[in-house]
Amino acid sequence: MQTGIKAVDQLISKHGIMAELGADTFQRRTRLTGGDERANTLPFCMYQKVAHAPLSKQFTVHHFYMPGNKGKLASFLFDEKGQLIEQVYYQKVARWVQVCRKLQQLVEVPTSDVHMAA
């Protein structure tokens, strides 16, 4: 997929898009439960959803980074069914926002596939 920024396209072809939990220099995918203290590091809108959820509720958080300058690109919060609840784009320039939207399209597909297969 062409995102419009060559560096991001190269990262996608090198690392792919994670469908399982894990981390590399481009992305990190973690699982949280309702009330999890690790939610303190999330953007406020995501923190509220996780912190005020019942303990039985599970969430998946997928973060994207630019490895060179350690800048954040985007974060996505999914519920246990794989539905996108919140997204945060850290970039304000329109060109980078388009990249974040394409990353969102890519990350929504593996999340729904993983939960459907279970």
Q: What is the pLDDT of residues 73-88, one digit of tens each?
A: 999 999 999 899 999 9
Residue 92 CA, chain-centre distance (Å), reads 17
50 pLDDT above the threshold of 90 = yes
**pLDDT confidence tier of residue 114, bands split at 50, 70 and 90:** very low
CA–CA distance, 104 with 111 (Å, rounded to integer): 11
Assess contact for 114 and 82: CB atoms under 8 A: yes
113 pLDDT above the threshold of 50 = no
Helix (DSSP H) and strand (DSSP E) numbers for the chain:
3, 5
Closest alpha carbon to 82 in 49, 62, 112, 117: 112
Cα 33 to Cα 5, 27, 30, 54, 58: the distances in Å are 34, 20, 10, 8, 4
> What pLDDT is stored for residue 28 in this prediction?
95
> What pLDDT is stored for residue 118 in this prediction?
42
Residue 42 CA, chain-centre distance (Å), reads 11
